[in-house]
Amino acid sequence: MNTDGSKKRFALHGYAGIVIMALAEGLLFGGNQLVGHWFTPIVWTGYILFVDALVYKFSGRSLLMTDRLEFVIIA
C-alpha cells in the first residue's frame, strides 16, 4: 500500500478494460458471431487491464505500468 500519503490516479488502461468488457457484453447479447466465438479472451483482456489499473491505484506498482518486462515473461 502507499504509505507516503500520495494518491495514485486510476490508469487509462483501466478505463479501456471497462469499455472492452462492456462492449463485448453488448455485442454478445446483440448476437455478434465474432464476439460470441472469441468472448472469453476478449473479456479476459479487458479484465486484466482493469485489475492492473486497480493494483496500480492502490499499491503504486503494476505489471503494465512499472514492471513491463515481468509482464512479458509471465505472458
Better-predicted residue by pLDDT, 11 or 1: 11
> Residue 27, class by beta-carbon neighbours within 10 Å (0-12 exposed, 13-18 middle, 19+ buried)?
middle
Q: What is the pTM of this model?
A: 0.82
| pLDDT classification of 67: cutoffs 50, 70, 90 | confident
**2-11, 15-24, 61-70, range with the lowest pLDDT:** 2-11
Q: What is the pLDDT of residues 21-56, one digit of tens each?
A: 999 999 999 999 999 999 999 999 999 999 999 999
